[in-house]
Structure 1
Amino acid sequence: MEIILKQDVPNLGDKDDVVNVRNGYATNFLIPKGMAIMATPSAKKVHEENMRQRAHKEAKVREDAQELAAKLEGIQVQIATKVSSTGKVFGSVNNIQVAEALAAQGLEVDRRNITFPGQDVLREVGVHQAVVKIYRDISASVQVEVTGEE
């Protein structure tokens, strides 16, 4: 029996895959649990149209993400904070402050997508790298300069 999976099923397939399974497995387990639907000709048409629309939306989102990555790449953000005489920051500079600094430059980025390679927060004065993950495999590198307040 041919079915369309509505969710990932271990050892069978991923969501939206069209697979062949035994009749009993489909009618007694997959379909009643809501994991799959029968692959009738009309269901296949609807499935193909949904996949086409999803691919179109995916392409649009990917294009927007690449535009944002191009804008972010090479941007330098300056954050002033209180520092000791040895150059250590009182407290730390975190992704929230970097997101706010980017927003001040007109670039809205979710703070949870900002990471500092090799460290959680910035605790020293100087220029550091921050990686902004925009979309699945699209990310941009931003320079963060931590300076002392006057």
Structure 2
Amino acid sequence: MKLILTQQVTGLGEPGDIIEVRDGYGRNYLVPRGFAIKWTRGAEKEIDSIKKARSAREIATVEHAKEVADRLGGLRVQLRTRTGSNGRLFGAVTAADIAEAVRAANGPDLDRRRIEIGNPIKTVGTHRVSVRLHSEVDATIDVNVLEA
């Protein structure tokens, strides 16, 4: 099945890329979740608009990505959330929560789709989260989750 990615999918590509995947993966996962659209000749035009939007908000160069990674490395990110009696959270910390906490700590504006949470954050404490800034540059953030 031929698809056009609308969002970054780790291991597949960037928004606007034309990919070839198995029918079931495309039909049951990528398309319903909005990660991709079916490829048609009319959708080719949409690729250009996706790429223009991506270039406007993306970190363009590797050097700029390294600068942002250095800023993130020296950042102390704290996130306050409601917890139960045993230190477990009500729900989980999301990528949007982390992006907002980075912004509140005077860090750079991060796209929530660039933040990759390995295991769901459901407990109080310090958790390590990776951020894919550029295709060649990744950064890690230590997020300290506190009781509200």
Q: TM-score, normalised by structure 1?
A: 0.56
Count, aligned residues: 92
Alpha-carbon shift at residue 76 of structure 1 (Å):
2.3
Bigger CA radius of gyration: 1
Please tell me whether residue 101 in structure 1 is matched to residue 101 in structure 2.
yes
Give the letter aligned to residue 142 of structure 2: Q
Give the letter aligned to residue 109 of structure 1: L
* Superposition map of 1:52-67 within 5 A: 61-67=61-67
5+ long unaligned stretches in structure 2: 1-17, 19-59
Give the letter aligned to residue 113 of structure 1: R
3-state SS of 2:70 partner: helix
Structure 1 vs Structure 2 CA RMSD: 2.3
Q: Runs in 1 of length 4+ with deviation above 2 angstroms?
A: none
Please tell me whether residue 130 in structure 1 is matched to residue 129 in structure 2.
yes
In 1, Cα distance between equivalents of 2:113 and 2:76: 19
3-state SS of 1:66 partner: helix
- What is the aligned-residue identity percentage? 34
What do the CA deviations read for 1:76-95 (whole angstroms, capped 9, x no partner)?
21110110011100111111
5+ long unaligned stretches in structure 1: 1-7, 9-59
Match of 1:87 in 2: 87
What do the CA deviations read for 1:13-58 (whole angstroms, capped 9, x no partner)?
xxxxxxxxxxxxxxxxxxxxxxxxxxxxxxxxxxxxxxxxxxxxxx
